[in-house]
Structure 1
Amino acid sequence: MKDIIEILAEIVNNIHDFILFFVSDTLHSNATDKDLHFWIMGIIGIIIFLFVFILSTIISRMRFGITILSFLYTFTVMVVLVFAIEIQQALTSRGNMEFQDAAVGLWGFIVFFLFFAVLSSIFLVIKKFITQSKKR
């Protein structure tokens, strides 16, 4: 996993250098590194926001929309958390930084969520059955 992070870091650094070269040499701009971060991260952020907003609007209209949105948000937080833990292990040399650890951690969340979903569904079916029995 450490190798993957190093490769990704190298890719990001190369993109950074290309953008900096393009802006300063091709566009003849005196933009600083901070200016580039402001613009690039602002653009990336607004594109991601618009994608998430459109997707969330579509999902929220579905029958279990809020549940799906909650799952997606939680899953996103879990992805960040498991990779943060793996990176922390690499930086502190306490434990082994392995992609499989992150994958297994996320799988644990999915299994627990499925268990929760099954229990919730059973509860809702029983509740609906009791409500319909009382109406008769």
Structure 2
Amino acid sequence: MKRINEKLIRVYTSILSIEEEALKKSQFNDLSIKEMHTIDAIGLHAQPTSSEVARRLRVTKGTLTVAVKNLVRKGYVERQQLDQDKRVVNLSLTRKGRLMYRAHQAFHQKMVAGFVDGFDADQTKLVERALDNLMHFLDENG
């Protein structure tokens, strides 16, 4: 158990470190990791409400509002208020935001492919089951 814990911590910190370094070297060097993950939570084609995105990120609506304000200013996100209810704000990505989203997804696809490289279908299912268990624990304790 101790070795698994150490490896999970190392994986988590390594992913964040690699993402940060890649951001600094990219055309998206004006973004923070949190902003990048906000773009990811907004998604490519859906137009989620601010409340939905805040729930996905596990942050308060106020925290998300600050992040979205910065992303709008930087040209990554657009806000649309509903005519029927001005309190509801839908979020969508601009062209620049969609480009960032795709770059982030490509990184994750390569990472996952490297993670399961050489695994057969049963081994991949076992990894998925272990990750499901971890997510269940995090959902209950987060």
Instruction: Provide the TM-score with structure 1 as the length reference.
Output: 0.33
Rg larger in 1 or in 2?
1
